[in-house]
Structure 1
Amino acid sequence: MKDAAFGTLLAIQFLTRLPVPVACPWTPATRRWAARAYPLVGALLGALVAGVGTLLQPLLPTPLLALLLLSLWVALSGGLHLDGLMDLADALGSNAPLERRWAIMKDAQVGSFAVLALVFHLAWKAALLWALLAAGASPWWLVPVAALARLGGLGLLVGVPAARAEGLAHAWQQSLGARDLALAALVPLAGLVFVPGAAWLVAGLVGFIIIYGLAVRRAFGGINGDIVGAAIEGGELCLLLIAWGWWSFVMA
């Protein structure tokens, strides 16, 4: 139980900017539990943003509420996965040979492709949040969206090998297997029983992760931390799009 508690705190420290004033040991056991807690941390982030949205929904016009929720969403995660998205965009946009793409991804400087990816990604997220709220969806839809996106990131870690024997992705993978993915999926998938359109969310996420995994393996030979972070951002966008489609065309 101690490893599970430390692992959960590690996941919160790694995936959020929420204060956790505890020094957690970095061991294979705590790493496994941290990975298993990824979806729970996503659900926590979604719940915090949704709680604020519920409180402010009667007070703010929908466009401002959507922008506020997106701003809080980014702030709570510290922009961690957006950094991965930007690095991936610069590497892919370069059209350079493989070794040069890896060098660009590791470069701390931000290029034009990174800026474009960030702007359009956040614009799409804000627009979809606005559309979801305008369609009558509850802000609490963000809980399954954030939880499943992080489960998708874990699926990528388990299913696609690291391109190089270095970095965070490789370190996490040394402790992970299919059993960890199954355990991580238990709580979020059980909770989805009560979410309308949950099957579409799961199917869409699985399809996105499979296609994304094949694409990055072809482009880079495997994954690294930036590629996993970008997958979480892409997963959230994909799930928001599915949720909006459900509310607009099925629930209407």
Structure 2
Amino acid sequence: MKSALFGLLLALQFLTRIPIPIACPWTPETRRWAVRCYPLVGLLIGSVLALLAFVMHNVPTPITALAVLSVWVTLSGGLHLDGVMDIADALGSNQPLARRWEILKDPQIGSFGMLALVFLLAWKGVLLWALLAYNAPWWWLVVIPALGRWAGVALLVLTSCAQQKGLAWSWQQSLGTLDVVLALVPMALITLLVPSLALMGLATAVFVGLSRWFMLRLFNGINGDMVGATIEGGEFWLLILVWSWWQFATVSPLGI
């Protein structure tokens, strides 16, 4: 039980800017529990976003959407956006594999990275605006950050690291397929209340499979940046799907 609690605190320290003034032990057991708690942290973030959207429901929708997006980025400290920018710079360079890895490690952000950041945030903001304008139920805003973080867990556990060093490789040494399954438990419990959430889980699994293929093909493995980019990409993917289902489905498969 103590390891599980420390794991939750580690996940909060690693994934958010919420101040946790506790020194948590860095052991294989606490790392396993931290990864299992990633979706729980996502549910916490999503709950804050949904509460903010509810409080601001009488505010003009564009302002509410921008406020929600701002808090979304602030809570995570923009941690995962850095991975998106690094990958965009590496791929935009159109260089051989070795050079792409050098660009990934470069702390400087190039033009492709800045463009990726601007367009990602713009699209997320517009999709939030659209969904809020359609008065979509609040639960989608709660679960998207959770499923996005589960996508990062799945990629980390199921895809080999390109190099036997770095934070991602260090985490991998403690993890197995069981951790991916256990990380889904909170979402499975919510599915009992919202059965259509299973469709979003399936869509997330498809996104993980595509991301895994993409990273192996272009980089021969993953690193921490790619895990973070998968979290951001998973959230974006789910926003698009929820908007599509809400906008175009005659009978919504989500029941919304």
TM-score range, shorter chain: over 0.9
Instruction: Tell me how far 1:196 sits from its aligned partner.
Output: 6.1
Native 8 Å contact 1:200 1:242 kept in 2: no
Instruction: Tell me how far 1:155 sits from its aligned partner.
Output: 0.4
Gaps of 5+ in 1: none
Q: After superposing the two structures, state which structure 1 stretch, 162-171 or 191-200, moved more.
A: 191-200
Instruction: Tell me how far 1:245 sits from its aligned partner.
Output: 1.7
Instruction: Tell me how far 1:247 sits from its aligned partner.
Output: 2.0
In the other structure, the counterpart of 2:189 is: 190
In the other structure, the counterpart of 1:96 is: 95
Q: Equivalents in 2 of 1:94, 1:13: separation in Å?
A: 33
Identity of aligned residues (%): 56
Q: Deviations over 1:201-248 (max 9, x none)?
A: 122111111011101101111110000000000000001111112222
Q: Equivalents in 2 of 1:18, 1:140: separation in Å?
A: 22
Q: Deviations over 1:46-101 (max 9, x none)?
A: 1111111111112x111110011000000000000001100111011111111111
Q: 1:89-238 to 2 correspondence within 5 Å?
A: 89-195=88-194, 197-238=196-237
Instruction: Tell me how far 1:143 sits from its aligned partner.
Output: 1.3
TM-score, structure 2 as length reference: 0.95
In the other structure, the counterpart of 1:49 is: 49
Instruction: Tell me how far 1:189 sits from its aligned partner.
Output: 2.1
Q: 1:49-88 to 2 correspondence within 5 Å?
A: 49-58=49-58, 60-88=59-87
Q: Equivalents in 1 of 2:214, 2:7: separation in Å?
A: 31
Letter in 1 for 2:114: V
Q: Equivalents in 2 of 1:53, 1:142: separation in Å?
A: 9
SS of 2:104 mapped into structure 1: helix
SS of 2:184 mapped into structure 1: helix
In the other structure, the counterpart of 1:37 is: 37
Q: Equivalents in 2 of 1:32, 1:11: separation in Å?
A: 10
Native 8 Å contact 1:156 1:213 kept in 2: yes
Letter in 1 for 2:200: L
SS of 1:157 mapped into structure 2: helix
Q: Equivalents in 2 of 1:100, 1:142: separation in Å?
A: 38
Q: Equivalents in 2 of 1:243, 1:197: separation in Å?
A: 11
Q: Equivalents in 2 of 1:18, 1:171: separation in Å?
A: 24
Letter in 2 for 1:189: A
In the other structure, the counterpart of 1:7 is: 7
In the other structure, the counterpart of 2:16 is: 16
Q: After superposing the two structures, state which structure 1 stretch, 112-121 or 131-140, moved more.
A: 131-140
Q: Equivalents in 2 of 1:11, 1:153: separation in Å?
A: 13
Q: Equivalents in 2 of 1:30, 1:242: separation in Å?
A: 34
SS of 1:123 mapped into structure 2: helix
Q: Equivalents in 2 of 1:22, 1:230: separation in Å?
A: 28
Q: After superposing the two structures, state which structure 1 stretch, 97-106 or 136-145, moved more.
A: 136-145
Native 8 Å contact 1:169 1:224 kept in 2: yes
Q: Deviations over 1:10-57 (max 9, x none)?
A: 000000000101000111010000000000001101111111111111
Gaps of 5+ in 2: none
SS of 2:81 mapped into structure 1: helix
TM-score, structure 1 as length reference: 0.96
Native 8 Å contact 1:197 1:246 kept in 2: no
Letter in 1 for 2:228: G
Q: After superposing the two structures, state which structure 1 stretch, 197-206 or 45-54, moved more.
A: 197-206
Q: Equivalents in 2 of 1:49, 1:209: separation in Å?
A: 24
* Stretches of 4+ aligned residues off by more than 6 angstroms: none
Number of equivalenced pairs: 251
